[in-house]
Chain A
Amino acid sequence: MSRIGVFVCHCGENISRTVDVERVAAEVGKLPGVALATDYKYMCSDPGQGLLKKAIAEQRLSHVVVAACSPRMHERTFRKAVESAGINPFLCEMANIREHCSWVHDNREEATEKAIEIVGMMVERVKRNRALPAITVPVTKRSLIIGGGIAGIQAALDIADAGHEVVLVEREPSIGGHMAQLSETFPTLDCSQCIMTPRMVDVANHPRITLHSYSEVEHVEGYIGNFQVTIRKKARSVDEKKCTGCGVCIEKCPIRKIPNKFDCNLGMRPAIYIPFPQAVPNTPVIDRESCAMFKSGKCGLCKKVCGPGAVDYEQEDRLIVEPVGAIVVATGFDLYDITEKPKGSQIKGYGEFGHGRIPDVIDGMTFERLASASGPTGGRILRPSDGREPKQIVFIQCVGSRAREKGISYCSKVCCMYTAKQTMLYHHKVHDGQAYVFFMDARTPGKSYDEFWRRSIEEEEAVYIRGMVSRLYQKGDKIVVMGSDIAVGVQVEIEADMVVLATAVQPRSGADILAQKLGISYDKYHFYSEAHAKLRPVECATAGIYLAGACQGPKDIPDTVSQASAAAAKVMTLFAREKLEREPIVARVREAGCVGCFYCRKVCAYGAIEEKEIRDRQGNLIKVVAYVNPGVCGGCGTCQATCPSKSVELDGYTDEQIVAMIEAL
Chain B
Amino acid sequence: MKKKKMIISSQTMELDVVRKVEALSGTSVRRCFQCGKCSAGCPMATFMEHPPNRIVRLLQLGQWQRILAGRSIWYCASCETCSTRCPNKVHLASIMDALRKLSWDAEGPSKESYVQLANRLFLENIRSYGRQYEMRLAAVFNVKSGQFLKDLMLGPKLISKGKLKMFHQKNRNMAEIEKIFSRIEEMRKKGEAL
Measured CB to CB, the residues of A under 8 A from B are 392, 434, 436, 454, 457-458, 461, 463, 465-466, 485, 487-488, 490-496
**Complex: chain B residue closest to A483, CB-CB:** B8
Give the contact stretch, choosing among B53-61, B102-110, B138-146, B164-172: B53-61
B113 contacts A by Cβ under 8 Å:
no
Q: How far is the CA of A465 from the CA of B11 in the complex (A)?
A: 16
A485 to B11, CA, bound (A): 16
Q: Is there contact, CB below 8 Å, between A493 and B9? A: yes
Are A465 and B61 in contact, CB atoms less than 8 angstroms apart? yes
Is the CB–CB distance between A495 and B8 below 8 Å? no
Instruction: Give B99 Cβ to nearest chain A Cβ, in Å.
Output: 16
Q: Are A494 and B28 in contact (CB under 8 A)?
A: no
Which of A458, A463, A466 is close to B15, meaning CB atoms less than 8 Å apart? A463
A490 and B31: CB pair below 8 A? no
CB contact under 8 A between A495 and B9, given known A457-B30, A458-B30:
yes
B7 within 8 A of A: yes
Shortest Cβ distance from A467 into chain B, in angstroms?
11
Contacts of A488 in B (CB 8 A): 8, 54, 57-58, 61, 63
Residue B6 is within 8 A (CB to CB) of chain A in the complex: yes
Tell me whether B46 is interfacial, beta carbon within 8 Å: no
Cβ contacts under 8 Å, B54 to chain A: 487-488
B31 to A, closest residue via Cβ: A458
**Chain B residue nearest in CB terms to A453:** B33
**Mask: chain B, 27-57; 1 = CB below 8 Å from A; 0 = not:** 0101101100000000000000000011001
In the complex the two chains form, is A485's CB within 8 Å of B30's CB? no
Given contact pairs A491-B8, A494-B10, enumerate 6 new A-B contacts (beta carbons under 8 Å).
Answer: A392-B10, A457-B30, A457-B31, A492-B8, A493-B7, A495-B9
**Is the CB–CB distance between A463 and B8 below 8 Å?**
no
Max chain B CB contacts within 10 Å: which of A434, A454, A487, A493?
A487
| Residue of B whose beta carbon sits closest to that of A488 | B57
Which B residue's beta carbon lies closest to that of A496?
B10
* Measured CA separation A461–B54 after assembly (Å): 19
Structural contact, A490 and B6, CB atoms closer than 8 A = yes
Residues of B within 8 A of A490 (CB): 6-8
Bound-complex Cα distance A461 to B60 (A)? 10
A-B contact pairs, 29 of them (CB 8 A): A392-B10, A434-B10, A434-B15, A436-B10, A454-B31, A454-B33, A457-B30, A458-B30, A461-B15, A461-B30, A463-B61, A465-B61, A466-B34, A485-B8, A485-B61, A487-B34, A490-B7, A491-B6, A491-B8, A492-B7, A492-B9, A492-B61, A493-B7, A493-B9, A493-B10, A494-B10, A495-B9, A495-B10, A495-B11
How far is it, in angstroms, between the C-alpha of A465 and the C-alpha of B13 when the chains are bound?
A: 12
**What is the number of contacts between chain A and chain B, taking CB atoms within 8 Å?**
52
Residues in A whose Cβ lies below 8 Å from that of B10: 392, 434, 436, 493-496
Contact A485 B13 (CB under 8 A): no
**Residues from chain B with Cβ under 8 Å of A436 in the complex:** 10
Q: Interface SS of chain A: helix, strand, loop or mixed?
A: strand
Cβ contacts under 8 Å, B53 to chain A: 487
Please, how many residues of chain B have a CB less than 8 angstroms from a CB on the other chain? 20
List the B side residues contacting A458 at CB < 8 Å: 28, 30-31
Chain A residues closer than 8 Å to B63, beta-carbon distance: 488
Could you say which residues of chain A place their CB within 8 Å of the CB of B6? 490-491
Expressed in whole angstroms, the Cα–Cα distance for A491 and B8 within the complex equals 6
Report the bound CA distance from A463 to B13 in whole Å.
Answer: 10
A463: chain B residues at CB < 8 Å are 13, 15, 60-61
**Does B57 contact A485, Cβ atoms closer than 8 Å?**
yes
Give the distance in Å from the alpha carbon of A625 to the alpha carbon of B53 in the complex. Answer: 75
Q: How far is the CA of A466 from the CA of B13 in the complex (A)?
A: 16
Q: Which residue of A lies closest to B66 (CB)?
A: A488
Q: Which residue of A lies closest to B63 (CB)?
A: A488
- Nearest chain-B residue to A482 (Cβ)? B7
- Identify the closest chain A residue to B13 (Cβ): A463
Q: Which chain B residues border A491 with CB–CB below 8 Å?
A: 6-8
Q: How far is the CB of A390 from chain B (nearest CB, A)?
A: 13
For the complex of A and B, list the 4 residue pairs with the smallest distance between their C-beta atoms, beginning with the closest. A487-B57, A494-B10, A493-B9, A458-B30
Complex contacts, B28 vs chain A, CB 8 Å: 458
CA distance A485 to B53 in the complex (A): 13
Chain A residues, Cβ within 8 Å of B61: 463, 465, 485, 488, 492
Interface of chain B residues 51 through 78 with chain A (CB within 8 A): 53-54, 57-58, 60-61, 63
* Shortest distance from the beta carbon of B17 to any chain A beta carbon, whole Å: 13
Chain B residues with Cβ below 8 Å from A496 are 10
CA distance A2 to B58 in the complex (A): 83
Determine how close the nearest CB of chain A comes to the CB of B94; give it in whole angstroms: 16
Interchain nearest-CB distance for A99 vs B (Å): 43
Query: What is the CB-to-nearest-CB distance from A274 to chain B, in angstroms, rounded to a whole number?
Result: 42
Residues of B with C-beta under 8 A to A434 = 10, 15
* Smallest beta-carbon distance B148→chain A, Å: 41
Q: Chain B contacts of A457 at CB under 8 A? A: 30-31
A457 CA to B53 CA in the complex, in Å? 17
Interface centre among A436, A458, A488, A491 (most CB of B within 10 A): A488
CB contacts (< 8 Å) of B11 on chain A: these are 495
A581 CB → nearest B CB, Å: 55
Greatest chain B CB density within 10 A among A465, A493, A496 is at: A493
**In the complex, chain B residues whose CB is within 8 Å of the CB of A494:** 9-10
In B153-175, which residues have CB < 8 Å from any A CB?
none
Report the separation of the CA atoms of residues A454 and B15 in the bound assembly, to the nearest whole angstrom.
Answer: 18
B83 to chain A, nearest CB (A): 17
